[in-house]
Amino acid sequence: MKTITFICDKCKQSKSEADIVAIDVSYKIVRQNHNYPQSASAKKDICKQCLDKLGLLHQLPEKDYSEPENRNLRTFEDKLVDILSDLGVMFEE
């Protein structure tokens, strides 16, 4: 028998696979004096409870989902820095 444990990267609690939402984050840095951009990406698993606390919908309604989807995108964009900070990304000012 094999048991797989899923851990939320935000709250660090053990969750079931159905309670985890995978979020992919990537960035690209273009330097003026270089011919190629530097890029990186990371995948983080966040539980539905943490997404609820952030005000993000993890399941859209089956009908008329355009308004909730747009609201979700705006909320995600507004809270992106907070989410990344919670996941351990450091920012310099």
pTM for this model (two decimals): 0.63
Dihedral angle over CA of 69, 56, 8, 23, nearest 10: 30
Give residue limits of the domains in the chain: 6-86
What pLDDT does 92 receive?
66
Residues linked to residue 25 through DSSP beta bridges, in sequence order: 42
Tell me which of 35 and 25 has the higher pLDDT: 25
% of the chain at pLDDT higher than 70: 88
What pLDDT does 39 receive?
81
* 51 membership: H or E segment, kind and range: helix 48-54
Tell me which of 61 and 71 has the higher pLDDT: 71
Which phi and psi angles does 23 have, rounded to 5°?
A: -120, 125
What pLDDT does 65 receive?
67
What is the average pLDDT score of the chain? 81
Residues linked to residue 86 through DSSP beta bridges, in sequence order: none
